[in-house]
Chain A
Amino acid sequence: MIFKVVLIGCSADIVAQAEELNGFISENLGRGDHGCGTILFCSKKQDKNALLDLVPTESVKLVTVAGYRPETILEALKIVENMEETHLYLFPGGYAGSELAVRWAFRAKGSSLVQVNQIEYTENQLIAKKKVYSDYVMGVFRLKKKPYCIAPARGSASSLPVRVKQPLTVTEHDMTHLYRDRFVESYKWTPGEKTGNLEKAKFILIGGRGMNNAESAEKLKKIANSLGAAFGVSRPAAMNAWSTMDKIVGVSGAVTKPDVCIVAGASGAAAFYVGIEKSKFIVAINKDPRAPIIKSSDVAIIDDYKAVMDELVKLISAQK
């Protein structure tokens, strides 16, 4: 089986992309019986040696493009790739990688699946597992058309830095002349705080719909800061503009893995729980004893989270 890894080097999250895909390969494929390579997209200004340190395979096609535009990347892929010889393409798990996986599969007449948790390759098919039904159910799918284009679910594999530096075979391709997104007349990029802080935090405090308003959300955020915890919210809380979108925890936000996670006033719908299920210890505080988060926690308190948190702040501060 021949598989290729696609990395978008011109994106600021390239290290996370490379480490997640390296972990995914290690847990799902290994490198033993497979032929593999990486297609690494970068821009002219970037430090290419630093990018090459992130490559998880022994060979790489280093493709220089004018900048990250999906149309440009897809066009360049078509030029540098012989899609008939590749069985599997692995794309990064973020928005960009998922988009490219689906569109590349369509153009290559293959099949795609995104937000994938696990894959297994057998002779003439790829079996892939992914969550469906708002993350309450694990679906197992058989992909029948090669090339199979997969983008893993974020957090589905451990982040694994590329530690062993192999001698790399590098082929360079200059695709800076491609510029297909002519429908864009102007654009302005603003760097975001993104979810990185939440995803790396050891201690997290999360508020849900039970916060009821923006003032309560702000107060809970201050409590999180005073305790040294990262602050997150469920999607409904962010949709009500009680907090910014970069604080969302769950399938459409951060996927966290803290040592301690306190969930205050969130019911624990599966799409939210996906964002905390790798926590070592979950505390749920909720007035509703039937809220799903109660059964999915290690320890639970059925009560108003505000009074409980006020007391916890006193206890934790006294120990500092």
Chain B
Amino acid sequence: MNILVCFTVIPELEMMLGEDWFVDENLQIDVGFLKHSLNCYDESALEIALKFSDAARKRHVSPNLTALTIAGPEANPILKTLNALRFNRVVRINNHEDIRFNSMAIASMLHQYVSNRMPQDVLLMGWQSGVGENAKTPLLVAEMLGWPCITQVTEIEPVDSHHLVVTCQVDDGQLQQTIQIPCVLSIGNAPNSYMRIPTLKDRMQFGRRTAEVLDANDFEPFDEGIELVSLDVINRQRSAILIEGATPEEKAGKLYKSFLAKRLNKL
């Protein structure tokens, strides 16, 4: 069973201070000085794939795991970690275009990779990334491949080499389905899915393998039909009245007396 996990590396935006948020004339925001890390839903997708692989081996099914990102060299440290975690193949499609809000371009590259270069049975990826927040890529890849897609997936378990049990959240509860592959799985809020840390031994032995680097220019472009017009930083400041006091109890007393008592009585 060939499993492709698609992931994005994003800047840690919560480290940006108020004055750092500046939109230039090309509708870009400088985030180059920030540390980059895995998009949280993609991190869950990678860990879910590793857990699945562990469980599948116990059932004598050996999945072949590929991790793929469309990014510049800022993704390289993560690629080393994924090699150390023993993904069979780690791929970076080198990209310099602005694809922040172009899910069609991203989905099209993934579609072409699976159709023309490395056939897969299951695609896993987070439901959205922290920068574009498009929430469209897994759905569009599924449409392009003509595969079914399950969204808000939280867990997958192996059955045999052609079937999976997939647990997902739906608007009115939780669904557990036994499905046939191929399929696209879009990962949502999956508990306990922070990515594991490779051992030092595996880091030394496998982390130095080179990732495969492809060029985005070798893939056919795809028009999204959507154009970015402007970006405006959202101001969320409120009055932020600071309650002072010598002890937590004193502060709580002031909070209750001056601000909460009347409001809570009205509820």
Instruction: State the A residues within 8 Å of B (CB).
Output: 11-13, 70-71, 94-96, 98-99, 102-103, 106-107, 110-115, 127, 130-145, 181-192, 194, 202-203, 228, 235, 238-241, 245, 248, 251-253, 259-260, 267, 269-271, 273, 277, 281-283, 292, 294-304, 307-309, 311-312, 315-316, 319
Chain A residues, CB < 8 A from B192: 239-241
Contacts of B191 in A (CB 8 A): 238-239, 241, 245
B255 in contact with A103 (CB, 8 Å) = no
Q: Which residues of B contact A273 (CB under 8 A)?
A: 236
Contacts of A184 in B (CB 8 A): 177-179
Complex Cα distance, B243 from A304, in Å, reads 13
From A96, A281, A296, A297, give the contact of B170 (CB < 8 A). Answer: A96
A281 to B261, CA, bound (A): 13
* Residue from A71, A281, A295, A308 within 8 A of B263 (CB atoms): A281
What are some 26 contacts across the A-B interface (CB < 8 A)? A13-B172, A95-B188, A106-B139, A106-B140, A106-B143, A111-B225, A132-B101, A136-B16, A137-B234, A141-B226, A143-B225, A145-B225, A185-B179, A189-B175, A192-B169, A192-B172, A245-B169, A259-B267, A270-B236, A283-B260, A299-B241, A299-B259, A301-B255, A308-B248, A311-B248, A315-B253
Q: Bound complex: CA of A183 vs CA of B259, how far in Å? A: 56
Sort chain B's interface into a size bin: 35 or more
Q: How many Å from the CB of A98 to the closest CB on chain B?
A: 6
- Whether A239 contacts B241 by the Cβ 8 Å rule is no
B179 & A107 in contact (Cβ 8 Å cutoff):
no
| Contact yes or no, A137 B233, CB < 8 A | yes
Does B197 make an interface contact (CB < 8 A)?
Answer: no
- Closest CB in chain B relative to A229 CB, distance in Å: 9
One of A111, A134, A187, A300 near B177 (C-beta < 8 A) = A187
Given the interface contacts A137-B234, A277-B236, does A127 sit within 8 Å of B229 by beta carbon? yes
B200 contacts A by Cβ under 8 Å? no
Q: Are B249 and A307 in contact (CB under 8 A)?
A: yes
A12 and B171 contact, Cβ closer than 8 Å, known pairs A134-B131, A316-B256 = yes
Chain A hits for B172, CB < 8 A? 11-13, 191-192, 194
Assess whether B214 is interfacial by the CB under 8 Å rule: no
Contact B135 A281 (CB under 8 A): no
Minimal beta-carbon separation of A142 from chain B (angstroms): 4
**Are A102 and B224 interface neighbours, CB within 8 A?**
no
Given the complex, which residues of A lie within 8 Å of B234, measured CB to CB? Answer: 131, 135-138, 270
CA distance A307 to B11 in the complex (A): 35
Stretch at the interface among B67-75, B76-84, B146-154: B146-154
**B34 CB to closest chain A CB, in angstroms?**
12
From A235, A260, A277, residue with most partner B Cβ within 10 Å = A260
Chain A nearest CB from B246 CB (Å) reads 11
Excluding A95-B169, A132-B101, A133-B133, 5 further A-B contacts by CB distance (< 8 Å) are A134-B131, A185-B163, A188-B177, A192-B174, A270-B236
Q: A139-B101, A301-B243 are in contact. Are A192 and B173 (CB under 8 A)?
A: yes
| Contact (Cβ within 8 A) A283 B236 | no
Q: Give the distance in Å from the alpha carbon of A281 to the alpha carbon of B192 in the complex.
A: 33
Q: Is the CB of B180 within 8 A of A183?
A: yes
Q: Does B119 contact A (CB under 8 A)?
A: no
A113 touches B226 (CB 8 A): yes
Smallest Cβ distance from A205 to chain B, in angstroms?
12
Which residue among A136, A185, A248, A277 has the maximum number of chain B CB atoms within 10 Å of its CB?
A136
- Residues in B with CB closer than 8 Å to A187 are 175-178
| Interface of chain A: mostly helix, strand, loop or mixed | mixed
Task: Assess the A183–B179 pair: CB atoms within 8 A.
Answer: yes
Q: Is the CB of B267 within 8 A of A312?
A: no
Contact B173 A185 (CB under 8 A): no
Interface residues in B124-150 (C-beta closer than 8 Å to A): 130-136, 139-140, 142-144, 148-149
- B117 within 8 Å of A (CB atoms): no
B219 CB to nearest A CB, Å:
18
Cα of A239 to Cα of B142 in the assembled complex, Å: 27
In the complex, whether B189 has a CB less than 8 A from a CB of chain A is yes
A298 to B249, CA, bound (A): 20
Given A183-B183, A303-B248, the answer on whether A136 and B21 have CB atoms closer than 8 Å is yes
Give the residues in chain B near A228, CB-CB below 8 Å: 267
Closest 8 CB pairs of A and B: A307-B248, A12-B172, A311-B252, A111-B225, A145-B225, A192-B173, A187-B177, A94-B171
From the candidates A95, A202, A316, A319, name the one contacting B171 in the complex (CB within 8 A): A95
Cβ A189 vs Cβ B179 within 8 A: no
Hey, which chain B residues are within 8 Å of A95, CB to CB?
151-152, 169-171, 188
Q: Is the CB of A189 within 8 A of B174?
A: yes
Are B225 and A110 in contact, CB atoms less than 8 angstroms apart? yes
Q: Are A297's CB and B255's CB within 8 A?
A: no
The answer on a CB contact under 8 Å between B226 and A136 is no
A287 → chain B, closest Cβ, in Å? 10
In angstroms, Cα B194 to Cα A58, docked, is: 49
Contacts of B241 in A (CB 8 A): 298-300
**Are B225 and A133 in contact, with the CB atoms below 8 A?**
no
Tell me, yes or no, whether B251 is within 8 Å of chain A by CB: yes
B95 within 8 A of A: no
Smallest beta-carbon distance B252→chain A, Å: 4
CB atoms of B14 and A267 under 8 A apart: yes
Contacts of A71 in B (CB 8 A): 148
